[in-house]
A and B are shown apart, each in its own frame.
Chain A
Amino acid sequence: KAGVTQTPRYLIKTRGQQVTLSCSPISGHRSVSWYQQTPGQGLQFLFEYFSETQRNKGNFPGRFSGRQFSNSRSEMNVSTLELGDSALYLCASSNGQGRAYEQYFGPGTRLTVT
């Protein structure tokens, strides 16, 4: 099975711009979660989508949003970029059913805001 793919892998944006990141989950997985990873804060949960619905949300401002399509692919959008948004953005997929399911992570998108 193909793994989780994320595009683009690297991105440089300017403060104030917006950005959209894309994630294709493992075939058959209906849950997609997004995380932000920085050296200072570590890996932090942004939100999870399951069957096109946001099922859970972390403590991030409304500038961070996402959506999931009927084929389970997901996009994450950050508007009005700030320097502090520079991070590795990781998406993870899982079957999302019940409890105790492991997450399969993609390689991440490295976002640099200048």
Chain B
Amino acid sequence: SQKIEQNSEALNIQEGKTATLTCNYTNYSPAYLQWYRQDPGRGPVFLLLIRENEKEKRKERLKVTFDTTLKQSLFHITASQPADSATYLCALEVGNTGFQKLVFGTGTRLLVSP
């Protein structure tokens, strides 16, 4: 069956450290993978998108890797801050062009303590 797995347990790290979140998937062949941030009571906010032929993408303190052989994406936040505390969702873009949709993982909650 098709699955997208993210760590269900919260990730607790100290301010200034690098947070690494994992997204593993099975029985999907996504052309694109996206990461979103969601704060309690709010809708998800788009962070980064990476294509299947890209190994790595960066944006400020964020870095995403995409390994289609391992079927895994890693999401890194360097120099983490308490304001980075939120739930982070990975989403696979699947389907044919014009009919694609996003399939989301269940998310990992990140807690950054001062």
Interface residues, chain A, with chain B CB atoms under 8 Å away: 4, 33, 35, 42-45, 48, 55-56, 58, 90, 92, 98-100, 102-108
Contact = CB atoms under 8 A, between A and B. Distances in A.
Given A42-B105, A106-B43, A107-B43, A98 B89 contact: no
Interface of B: 31-32, 34, 36, 41-46, 49, 51, 89, 93, 95, 97-107
The DSSP consensus for interface residues of chain A is strand
Contacts of A56: 95, 99-101
Given A42-B106, A100-B49, 15 more contacts: A4-B43, A42-B107, A43-B107, A44-B104, A56-B95, A56-B100, A90-B44, A99-B31, A99-B32, A99-B97, A100-B32, A103-B46, A105-B36, A105-B45, A108-B42
Contact of A55 (B43, B44, B93, B98): B98
Contacts of B99: 55-56
A45 B95 CA distance: 13
